[in-house]
């Protein structure tokens, strides 16, 4: 078979990666924290890396803009000379500040946002004072009088204080800018990640391909049922691809769950039985889309499929104090190895998040794990 | 293709079995020798029917296809194994189990043909080499022993201890005693999570230990649930056993 050559090659290519003993198969959840940790180690600090060429260039640019601003603000006859003087001073100030931040960044990283900001203010103010003193030296040349002035810098106080004042204001603006930009970046990252997770939680490849296989089998042996299965699958995926934030009537959500059940029964036959106990529920109530169906999917994937003789999943619903409560219970294989698989948590976290998003603290998802039973309960307020 | 390549189909889902059955019977020179829905049945049928190829689903309840393949690999003249699965998250493990091929469901007719043709060309020696994993990656849930001429599966959970003799390893389990043809060292590595050395030639199941007792001056012995005779413990292993027992 042509695949075998590829298979052997793949196997040998994977050899160095092959773990020594009891390493579980690669799972998506395991990857996620690793990725975020990678992010965190590098970029989870709001003050950018001033050692980078790009940042040094930005510093030069900002210093020059500031020089132009200050020179324009000062009523002098010779603008260009003034600009040259101020530029010279500000470029020195800017580059030394960048150098200070470049070295201090690693230490600052360990502090909280407030503390590291204070430290930055302190470092840059000291740097400004030192550079200002040096500038004074150059302006007046080296004579004993100036050395005296430096040692007892009362003569340069006004100049020093003015510079430190400007430094503090500019630093404050920049820090605020860095902080807001960083927050925005973090937010965009988190959103992208949660979208991917949501998609993975909603379309379980295992289910998709097994359903395809079932349909392929039925196409010949029972075309009518194959047709029905394709229709069911289409309905289910349409629901999956819909915006998950727009709510559904409970009736529609339960209908989708039954459609899903129908597809799984084709595949699992007698092994899957579902007991519905939802007559008490108000069918016009609103629910976030895909909250009940994934619970049944989980119960089947982790509960029924690993059991050689299958079992019964119970879906029960009732209204308690104006809150809707839906409980899905499934049997668990005594050897719980399979049910601990990570996909479970992913799907449940996803539903929990969506309930929290829609109802805040009033929406909840609880899991009870007993030796032979796994029970998930969701609660949310009744709204129409 | 040689005439009458016999194929055993193993899949826990009825539609999947039916489809493979139809596809195989449509491949010229191939015949379905048998069909079954789980691992233990598959092992029994292989013994009974001696098929040339086994089409083996990976995700099955009770015993996974990977484990079935490992038990089959221990046979003297093993069948060629072609894994079938709906989703390839298990690919790496399947290659480790050294299958002849790997088919994704829904299986394409041409790919099935190629896989069967390839399998039919392999000699017994090649198969033996292919089917014997160099390094087990996940611990089995059963141990297979040969009783007279049949393969008997002993669930790992029922095993109390392994004891190495000169040539064989005795498996002492809740249902009695059997001889196993695997080195103790390898068993120790594979089942390190649930078993520990009691002394040089005994590997004991932590879950079956009732107590670690002092005998005489400073000798120790293990009392096992359901065993009258205590197991001697070498002094070197006492600390380790105590640690494992506390953890359990």
State the complex-level ipTM: 0.70
User: What residues in B contact A221, CB-CB < 8 Å?
Assistant: 15, 18
CB A133 within 8 A of CB A150: yes
Of A38-52, A249-263, A366-380, B127-141, the poorest mean pLDDT is in: B127-141
Query: Which pLDDT score is estimated for A40?
Result: 38
In this complex, is the C-beta atom of A210 within 8 Å of any C-beta atom belonging to chain B? yes
Strands of B58-194 (E only): list them: 80-85, 101-104, 142-147, 150-155, 159-164, 169-173, 176-180
- A13 touching chain B per CB within 8 A: no
Average pLDDT over residues B99-121: 87
Closest partner CB to A11 (pick from B95, B106, B192): B95
pLDDT at B128: 62
User: Residue B85's beta-bridge partner residues?
Assistant: B104
Tell whether B24 lies on the interface with A, counting CB pairs under 8 A: no
Residue B100 to residue A306, Cβ atoms within 8 A: no
Coil, strand or helix: which one is B143?
A: strand
Per the CB < 8 A criterion, the answer to whether B157 and B178 are in contact is no
Q: Which two tokens stand for residue A277?
A: 């106990």
What's the pLDDT band for A351 if we cut at 50, 70, 90?
Answer: confident
Residue A150 has pLDDT above 50, yes or no: no
Q: In the prediction, which pLDDT does B141 show?
A: 83
Q: Is the pLDDT of residue A47 over 60?
A: yes
Question: What is the rounded average pLDDT of the residues A271-277?
Answer: 95
Q: Two tokens at A170?
A: 């500019």
Tokens of A189: 């990252």
- Which pLDDT band holds residue B9 (cuts at 50, 70, 90)? very high
A342 band by pLDDT with thresholds 50, 70 and 90: low
Residue in the block written with tokens 């590997």: B203
Question: Residue A217: which of B16, B115, B135 has the nearest Cβ?
Answer: B16
Assess A31–B contact: CB distance below 8 Å, yes or no. no
Phi first, then psi, for residue A360 (nearest 5°) are 65, -140
Q: Is the pLDDT of residue A5 over 70?
A: no
CA–CA separation, A110 vs A119, rounded Å? 12
Overall average pLDDT of the A73-79 stretch:
79
- Given CB atoms, is A221 within the 8 Å cutoff of chain B? yes
Contacts of A57 (CB under 8 A, 6+ apart): none
Rounded to whole angstroms, the Cα distance separating B82 from B97 reads 11
Q: Give me A332's structure tokens.
A: 């668990």
Interface contact B114-A21, CB threshold 8 A: no
Residue in A93, A368, A283, A307 with CA at minimum distance from that of residue B38:
A307
Do residues A94 and A60 make contact, with C-beta atoms less than 8 angstroms apart?
A: yes
Contact A283, A250 (CB under 8 A): yes
* Residues forming beta bridges with residue B162, ordered by sequence position: B171, B203
pLDDT value of position A16: 35
Distances (CA, A) of B72 to A137, A174, A189, B99, B127: 88, 68, 48, 11, 11
On chain A, the residues whose CB falls within 8 A of the CB of B134 are none
Extract long-range pairs of A33-42: CB within 8 Å, 24+ residues apart: A35/A193, A36/A193, A39/A189
Tally of CB atoms within 10 A around A2: 12
For residues A82 and A88, what is the distance between their CA atoms, to the nearest angstrom? Answer: 10
pLDDT at res. B67 = 87
Token pair recorded at residue A195: 């979208």
Q: Does pLDDT of B47 surpass 80? A: yes
Chain A residues in contact with B157 (beta carbon < 8 A): 335
Q: Which two tokens stand for residue B235?
A: 């002094």
How far the first Cα of chain A sits from its last, in Å, is 59
CA distance B170 to B163: 5
Instruction: Give the residue from chain B lying closest to A269, CA to CA.
Output: B14
- Using 50, 70 and 90 to split pLDDT, how confident is the model at A338? very low
**Tokens (6 digits) for A344:** 């479970």
Of A22, A218, A306, the CB nearest to B15: A218
User: How many angstroms separate the Cα of A305 from the Cα of each of A120, A239, A333, A339?
Assistant: 58, 24, 9, 10
Phi, psi values for residue A22, rounded to 5°: -85, 60
Share of chain B above pLDDT 90, in %: 31
Task: Inform me whether the C-beta atom of residue B91 falls under 8 Å from chain A C-beta atoms.
Answer: yes
What is the structure's pLDDT at B137?
Answer: 55
Interface residue B130 vs chain A (CB under 8 A): no
Higher confidence at residue B216 or residue B201?
A: B201
Q: Is the pLDDT of residue B213 over 90?
A: no
Q: Which residues in chain B touch residue A341, judged by CB atoms under 8 angstroms apart?
A: none
Phi and psi based region of residue A302 (left: phi greater than 0; alpha: psi -120 to 50; beta: remaining): alpha
B102/A217 Cβ within 8 A: no
In angstroms, the Cα distances linking B69 to A286, A338, B55, B93 are 49, 19, 10, 11
Of A3-7, B21-25, B81-85, B141-145, least confident by mean pLDDT is A3-7
Q: Do A1 and B90 touch (CB under 8 A)?
A: no
Which residue, A146, A251, A16, A209, is CA-closest to B90? A209
DSSP A77: S
Q: How far is A326 from chain B (nearest CA, A)?
A: 28
A15 part of contact set with chain B, CB < 8 Å: no
**Token representation of residue A153:** 């810098």
Query: Rg of chain B's alpha carbons, rounded to an integer?
Result: 21
Contact across the interface for B135 and A18, Cβ inside 8 Å:
yes
pLDDT digits (tens, 9 = 90+) for A256-272: 999 999 999 999 999 99
A286: which DSSP letter?
E
Q: What is the pTM of this model?
A: 0.62
């Amino acid at each position: 078979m042509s695949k075998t050559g590829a298979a052997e090659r793949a196997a040998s290519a994977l050899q160095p990666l092959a773990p020594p003993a009891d390493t579980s198969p690669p799972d998506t959840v395991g990857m996620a924290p690793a990725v975020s940790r990678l992010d965190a180690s590098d970029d989870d600090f709001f003050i950018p890396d001033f050692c980078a060429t790009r940042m040094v260039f930005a510093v030069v640019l900002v210093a020059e803009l500031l020089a132009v601003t200050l020179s324009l603000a000062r009523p002098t006859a010779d603008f260009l000379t003034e600009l040259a003087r101020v530029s010279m001073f500000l470029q020195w100030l800017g580059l030394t500040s960048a150098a200070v931040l470049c070295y201090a960044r690693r230490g600052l990283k360990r502090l909280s946002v407030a503390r590291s900001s204070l430290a930055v203010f302190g470092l840059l103010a000291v740097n400004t004072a030192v550079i200002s003193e040096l500038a004074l030296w150059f302006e007046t040349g080296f004579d004993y009088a100036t050395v005296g002035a430096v040692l007892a810098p009362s003569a340069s106080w006004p100049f020093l204080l003015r510079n430190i004042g400007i430094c503090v204001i500019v630093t404050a603006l920049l820090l605020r800018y860095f902080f807001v930009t960083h927050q925005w970046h973090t937010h965009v990252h988190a959103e992208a990640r949660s979208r991917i997770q949501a998609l993975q939680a909603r379309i379980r490849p295992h289910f998709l391909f097994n359903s395809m296989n079932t349909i392929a089998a039925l196409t010949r042996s029972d075309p009518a049922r194959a047709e029905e299965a394709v229709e069911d699958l289409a309905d289910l995926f349409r629901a999956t691809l819909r915006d998950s934030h727009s709510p559904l009537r409970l009736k529609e959500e339960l209908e989708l769950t039954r459609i899903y059940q129908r597809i799984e029964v084709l595949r699992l036959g007698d092994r899957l039985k579902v007991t519905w106990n939802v007559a008490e529920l108000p069918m016009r109530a609103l629910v976030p889309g895909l909250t009940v169906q994934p619970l049944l999917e989980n119960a089947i994937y982790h509960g029924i499929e690993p059991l050689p003789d299958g079992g019964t999943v119970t879906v029960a619903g009732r209204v308690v104090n104006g809150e809707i409560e839906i409980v899905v219970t499934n049997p668990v294989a005594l050897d719980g190895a399979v049910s601990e698989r990570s996909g479970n948590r992913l799907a449940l976290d996803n539903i929990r998040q969506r309930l929290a998003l829609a109802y805040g603290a009033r929406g909840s998802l609880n899991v009870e794990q007993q030796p032979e039973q796994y029970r998930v309960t969701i609660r949310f307020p009744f709204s129409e | 293709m040689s005439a009458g390549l016999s194929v055993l189909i193993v899949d826990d889902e009825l539609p999947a079995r039916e489809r493979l059955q139809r596809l195989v019977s449509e491949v010229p020179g191939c015949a379905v020798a048998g069909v079954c829905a789980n691992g233990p049945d598959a092992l029994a049928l292989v013994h009974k029917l001696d098929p040339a190829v086994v089409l083996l689903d990976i995700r099955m309840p009770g015993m996974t296809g990977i484990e079935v393949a490992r038990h089959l690999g221990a046979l003297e003249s093993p069948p060629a194994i072609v894994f079938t699965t709906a989703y390839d998250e298990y690919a790496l493990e399947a290659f480790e189990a050294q299958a002849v091929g790997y088919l994704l469901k829904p299986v394409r007719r041409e790919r099935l043909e190629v896989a069967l043709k390839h399998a039919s060309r392999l000699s017994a020696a090649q198969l033996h080499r292919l089917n014997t994993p160099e390094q087990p990656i996940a611990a089995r849930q059963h141990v297979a022993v040969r009783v007279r001429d049949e393969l008997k599966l002993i669930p790992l959970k029922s095993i109390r201890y392994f004891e190495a003799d000169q040539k064989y390893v005795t498996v002492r389990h809740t249902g009695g005693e059997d001889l196993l043809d695997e080195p103790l060292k390898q068993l120790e590595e594979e089942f390190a999570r649930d078993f520990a050395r009691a002394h040089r030639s005994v590997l004991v199941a932590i879950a079956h230990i009732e107590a670690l007792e002092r005998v005489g001056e400073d000798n120790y012995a293990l009392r096992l649930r359901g065993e009258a005779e205590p197991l001697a413990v070498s002094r070197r292993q006492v600390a380790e056993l105590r640690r494992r027992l506390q953890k359990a």
